[in-house]
Structure 1
Amino acid sequence: FDEASLPKISKSLIPLPQEQINGILKCVDAVEKVKGKPGNALDMVVFAEANNIKLGDVYMVCAILFSLMREELLYSDSVMENWTTKPQEGYHRYSYYFQKHYGDKYCLDEFQRATPKTAKSVNFESLYSLLKSKDMDKYKEESWMFDGEFRFLD
């Protein structure tokens, strides 16, 4: 699928002041310029401290990076370790990774949780009951749960 055609599907879970957003974006660009490649959260904390930029500790920076990723303001590598503001090979936006992992079967609800769109979900109580049961007919009825497809509990 074409990443450029993917719509923005998520939003930040943390309301951030624009000053903090601008600060982290500036650090992302500056670290990349210094290193010659995208940097990680610790790189940004070290850069910010060395340049008297107030970002917070590495945990706060990680929270901000993931929040900005959801807002489609950043690109990351596949393990979301290194970050950039510029599209480049091997770096993608949140929508790309969501689409790649879940396809059209899932969407995000109003609380930003992945929920079934067309995919079946598994009811926890039904699954628990089935796993405790010795009734083979019940297992055959519910065998679709074990077809190898990824599913969320409802």
Structure 2
Amino acid sequence: MIMLVGPVGAGKTSLINVLNKSCRKAEKTSSICFSDGAIDTPGEYAQIPRFYSALAVTATNAEIVLMVQDATDFRIALPPGFAAMFPRPVVGVVTKIDAPGANQEDAKLRLFQAGIKEPFFCVSAYTGAGLAELTDYLVRKEV
């Protein structure tokens, strides 16, 4: 099972849908949601410190945490070292790489500052770019 964490609007639900080959429309995630081998988390949980403990506890149900950063969002939404609180391996995923103004290197830097080491995966749920590499990685990790 994978758990996706990241700020509001980063594309977590869309990424889950495309990884599961689901045609569901992405809607605002209002609570932690377990489905189809994935744990979807509200962006507010990554942005409001009082929810951090809920994320850390929920991560014990996952084999790996995917920390998601939108390539078009230049805010620093995740605190330095944020990834260290998770009891599972954390992998960085840069989303929306096909969007106008996307900057993959800045997004990777935000993930690095949040405490993630390589590998980083740059993907587009819209075009499918980078999804094969991410999927292959997850299969190799037996997630």
TM-score under structure 2 normalisation?
A: 0.27
Answer with 1 or 2: which has the greater Rg: 1
Higher RCO structure, 1 or 2 (CA under 8 Å, sep 6+): 2
- Considering fraction of residues, name the structure with more strand: 2
Kindly indicate which of the two structures has a greater share of residues assigned to helix.
1
Normalised TM-score (structure 1) = 0.25
